[in-house]
Amino acid sequence: MRLWILLLACSCLQAMDLAIIIDDLGYNPALGRRTLALPGPITVAILPGTPFAESLAMLADEQAIETMLHLPMANKAGFPLGPFGLELDMSHEERLKLARQALATLPNVRGFNNHQGSLLTEDAAAMAFLFAHLPASDLYFVDSLTTANSKAGAQADAHGWLWGQRHIFLDHQASQDFVRQQMQLTWQRLEQHGHALVIGHPYVETLTVLEQMLPHWQEQGVRLLPVSSYLALHGQQGESSVPGSDHKDEPKQLLPSLENPPSAQTDPLAPRQQPFWPRLLEH
């Protein structure tokens, strides 16, 4: 009887693996350092060519925190991309050269994801050329899914890359209440699927909520993983999924693009009108 109870209890326990990417590091050193101090192994995505990109990358490396390149890509709204931005009207070779240069500025990154990119990631040929010529054996890719029609993941898959996709955006409205709401959606996904990959930004509101919630979540059995470890368990590579992946089975979550700033409107799907990243300069 005791063995049966033990087996029943074990069968009810489900591992819950969570990867958190904090995008857009590089503009604000104080918020960058606060991000690196979050409890648990989060992953940071650094914008290349920003004023504090290299120093924050070095600090992350010293603290054994996984870093990614947050590669700017063309968006439908025409927002400026900043340094190393990949525009649609460039040649394949020009975009590849910029991507390689961006990677060279942050030599310890483990992978990359797209910054903005609602226009470029819908172009299958552009994404195919990048994935065909960047080193798949050395890097992974995360599709931020700033458009539901992204072709980036499919092209990464076709070229043998280890890759994954964002499930939930935490802070497309910058308020603590909204971030907590998105964390509740994350918890629901963890209960349903056993894993989640979420993206946030180094906003004071986001960092405050994560500082409060992550220790409790880890006490409740959530296993916080760097993205490389998460993808090894739940990502995809080539024709077949790695164990635990469900990318091909679940629909893409239609959430607003992170190409826009936090909105004062209550509708989480409301469009925003300006680039969001200048907020990081305000603190």
Per residue in 269-278, pLDDT (tens digit) is 222 333 344 3
Using only C-alpha atoms, the chain has a radius of gyration, in whole angstroms, of 18
Instruction: Output the six-digit token pair for 131.
Output: 């994935």
Q: How confident is the model at residue 259 (pLDDT cuts 50, 70, 90)?
A: low
Asked if 54 contacts 67 with a C-beta cutoff of 8 angstroms, the reply is no
Question: In the prediction, which pLDDT does 13 show?
Answer: 55
Residues 9 and 280: their CA atoms lie apart, in Å, by: 46
Question: In the prediction, which pLDDT does 239 show?
Answer: 55
**Structural domains of the chain, ranges and CATH numbers in brackets:** 16-281 (3.20.20.370)
Residues linked to residue 22 through DSSP beta bridges, in sequence order: 44, 200
% of the chain exceeding 90 in pLDDT = 77
Instruction: Output the six-digit token pair for 237.
Output: 């590579």
Whether pLDDT at 251 is above 50: no
Question: In the prediction, which pLDDT does 107 show?
Answer: 87
Residues 31 and 22: their CA atoms lie apart, in Å, by: 11
